[in-house]
Chains A and B, each alone.
Chain A
């Protein structure tokens, strides 16, 4: 078969044709998702009542508007948390290659940490973590 041949040859050559497996997989994935959605939509029973369409909140009746303004502090803390959390991700590869990278690696990480400490200092000084006004 032609297609099978292409699939088998794929690792050897580097042309547009050997993206065929990826394309096939993409097609399959899309097709699978689409089929599943359509099938469930068609097969499932539909009973629409007011209670069913209401937003489910732990059995408690909903009240108020979801778009009420929240204190900016929540967002600030969340963002800062993400920022410093990402830092840890960068530490991991360094920790794994600690020995291999030697002193130059150590200096690089030191610089990296230094920047973060400067940033942290800035945050503290600007009062981003002060909870009470």
Chain B
């Protein structure tokens, strides 16, 4: 509860800081401080210290899983603001509003991690999405940004419409919006109810759209490419992970395992296969690192879908770990990408000579995304694969995924090859020592989690 209320209030505070704070560069410090407060408040909430006591009528249900995820999401946003705050400043005239919108996104995120009612899911998704439509189009003078925004808005509202339809059908079938009631109905139903199955399928489509799983991924590359890079970084990481948490909350094991009318495992494996296939294969052919990262985010979504496929304890832990590892690495890569003058692969040529530290940290991030051991990304992938093998069937799916993990190495290593082994003079903006320090810290976190994942995993068991 702390995080929901505080993030909304802090968003309003950020809005007003545009009125009262005339010094633009102070805004990112205010935002960082606000995020820190939010982080601390959420951690306090996790350990039983809630500032607000409100009777929620089960509209929201707080559990450890959701609260941990809040911590990861808010922490990643804090790192994002610290690393890229200066670039958010440069991206337009309404700096304070951008920060305010980021806080509102976090408000949507915290709703999504704790919804106990389908209406709350809808509201959470909307609160999460609407600020993003604005952020996507924040580069007003750029046609691509405008195109991306309108595309994102139209497709996003369409998918929200499908989601509402699904919720309505489920309400028609079960007579309730409450997640608990819906679950118990699904778990107890003897015969097949067309309404509920259809409703759940609609919800599946809408959620697959939000996490950009193929074949509902078409908006992703255009939007990620068109949006200003700073905001792409945020959308591709924290927001996507939040949508995944909502997804796994909705598609609880009790919902999917008992409704035998639909082979959910098969459905999810089709989603996974097409997502991995499209994401990885198209990423191979990209010429721009930014667009490659957009497709790679689709491919990574394919791996995260494994959590929904297996729906066991390992899957839930793994999703948290994956969200953290993926978000950190991608935020780091984007932070460097924003500094680059040329975001094509050639633009990275020879970065190791001009900026050895950035190249080294970027390498760690890329290795983490590729899932090489000694980085957090390895354990993330490890958990996903293990969760499927633990179910004891569908081992072929794992082998398929592994093949595509090898394909993904191709495009991640292209960046490494450009930085280290190709000749060129990579141009960057001025790099401050603070930025370098931030990158080193993020890289260090990734390596430490990669060697001793226990540091994060210990949170899950206590």
Interface residues of A (CB under 8 A from B): 16, 118, 122, 125-126
Q: Could you say which residues of chain B place their CB within 8 Å of the CB of A16?
A: 194-195
Q: Could you say which residues of chain A place their CB within 8 Å of the CB of B12?
A: 118
- Told that A16-B194, A125-B16, A126-B18 touch, could you supply 7 new A-B pairs with CB distance under 8 A? A16-B195, A118-B12, A122-B15, A122-B16, A122-B19, A125-B19, A126-B19
Chain B residues 6 to 28 lying within 8 A of chain A, measured CB to CB, are 12, 15-16, 18-19
CB distance from B389 to the nearest CB of A (A): 40
CB distance from A79 to the nearest CB of B (A): 14
CB distance from B82 to the nearest CB of A (A): 27
Chain B residues 168 to 199 lying within 8 A of chain A, measured CB to CB, are 194-195
CB distance from B93 to the nearest CB of A (A): 12
Instruction: Find the B residue at minimum CB distance from A122.
Output: B15
The complex places the Cα of A126 from the Cα of B12 at a distance, in Å, of 14
Q: Could you say which residues of chain B place their CB within 8 Å of the CB of A122?
A: 15-16, 19
Instruction: Find the A residue at minimum CB distance from B19.
Output: A125
Q: Could you say which residues of chain B place their CB within 8 Å of the CB of A126?
A: 18-19
CB distance from A23 to the nearest CB of B (A): 13
Q: Could you say which residues of chain A place their CB within 8 Å of the CB of B18?
A: 126
The complex places the Cα of A122 from the Cα of B194 at a distance, in Å, of 48
Q: Could you say which residues of chain A place their CB within 8 Å of the CB of B16?
A: 122, 125
The complex places the Cα of A119 from the Cα of B18 at a distance, in Å, of 13
The complex places the Cα of A16 from the Cα of B172 at a distance, in Å, of 10
Interface residues of B (CB under 8 A from A): 12, 15-16, 18-19, 194-195
Q: Could you say which residues of chain A place their CB within 8 Å of the CB of B15?
A: 122
The complex places the Cα of A122 from the Cα of B16 at a distance, in Å, of 7
Q: Could you say which residues of chain A place their CB within 8 Å of the CB of B194?
A: 16
The complex places the Cα of A65 from the Cα of B19 at a distance, in Å, of 38
10 pairs of residues in contact across A and B, judged by CB atoms under 8 Å: A16-B194, A16-B195, A118-B12, A122-B15, A122-B16, A122-B19, A125-B16, A125-B19, A126-B18, A126-B19
CB distance from B451 to the nearest CB of A (A): 48
Q: Which 4 pairs of residues, A with B, have the shortest CB-CB distance?
A: A125-B19, A122-B15, A118-B12, A122-B16
Q: Could you say which residues of chain B place their CB within 8 Å of the CB of A125?
A: 16, 19
CB distance from A118 to the nearest CB of B (A): 6
Q: Could you say which residues of chain B place their CB within 8 Å of the CB of A118?
A: 12
CB distance from B316 to the nearest CB of A (A): 35
The complex places the Cα of A16 from the Cα of B191 at a distance, in Å, of 13
The complex places the Cα of A125 from the Cα of B195 at a distance, in Å, of 50
The complex places the Cα of A118 from the Cα of B16 at a distance, in Å, of 9
The complex places the Cα of A16 from the Cα of B18 at a distance, in Å, of 54
The complex places the Cα of A16 from the Cα of B16 at a distance, in Å, of 52
The complex places the Cα of A73 from the Cα of B437 at a distance, in Å, of 45
The complex places the Cα of A126 from the Cα of B19 at a distance, in Å, of 7
Instruction: Find the A residue at minimum CB distance from B94.
Output: A126
The complex places the Cα of A69 from the Cα of B19 at a distance, in Å, of 29
Instruction: Find the B residue at minimum CB distance from A124.
Output: B19
The complex places the Cα of A122 from the Cα of B18 at a distance, in Å, of 10
CB distance from B130 to the nearest CB of A (A): 14
The complex places the Cα of A122 from the Cα of B19 at a distance, in Å, of 8
Instruction: Find the B residue at minimum CB distance from A19.
Output: B172
The complex places the Cα of A125 from the Cα of B21 at a distance, in Å, of 12
Instruction: Find the B residue at minimum CB distance from A127.
Output: B19
Instruction: Find the B residue at minimum CB distance from A118.
Output: B12
Q: Could you say which residues of chain A place their CB within 8 Å of the CB of B195?
A: 16
The complex places the Cα of A104 from the Cα of B173 at a distance, in Å, of 34
CB distance from B293 to the nearest CB of A (A): 34
Instruction: Find the A residue at minimum CB distance from B193.
Output: A16
The complex places the Cα of A125 from the Cα of B18 at a distance, in Å, of 9
Instruction: Find the A residue at minimum CB distance from B195.
Output: A16
The complex places the Cα of A126 from the Cα of B97 at a distance, in Å, of 11
CB distance from A17 to the nearest CB of B (A): 12
The complex places the Cα of A114 from the Cα of B15 at a distance, in Å, of 16
The complex places the Cα of A125 from the Cα of B96 at a distance, in Å, of 14
The complex places the Cα of A126 from the Cα of B16 at a distance, in Å, of 9
CB distance from A130 to the nearest CB of B (A): 14
The complex places the Cα of A118 from the Cα of B18 at a distance, in Å, of 14
The complex places the Cα of A102 from the Cα of B18 at a distance, in Å, of 38
Instruction: Find the A residue at minimum CB distance from B12.
Output: A118
CB distance from A55 to the nearest CB of B (A): 27
The complex places the Cα of A27 from the Cα of B194 at a distance, in Å, of 21
The complex places the Cα of A118 from the Cα of B14 at a distance, in Å, of 13
CB distance from B138 to the nearest CB of A (A): 16
The complex places the Cα of A126 from the Cα of B18 at a distance, in Å, of 9
CB distance from A122 to the nearest CB of B (A): 6
Instruction: Find the A residue at minimum CB distance from B8.
Output: A115
CB distance from A105 to the nearest CB of B (A): 14
The complex places the Cα of A125 from the Cα of B194 at a distance, in Å, of 53
Instruction: Find the A residue at minimum CB distance from B18.
Output: A126
The complex places the Cα of A118 from the Cα of B19 at a distance, in Å, of 12
Instruction: Find the A residue at minimum CB distance from B173.
Output: A16
Instruction: Find the B residue at minimum CB distance from A15.
Output: B193
The complex places the Cα of A24 from the Cα of B29 at a distance, in Å, of 62
Q: Could you say which residues of chain A place their CB within 8 Å of the CB of B19?
A: 122, 125-126
CB distance from A117 to the nearest CB of B (A): 12
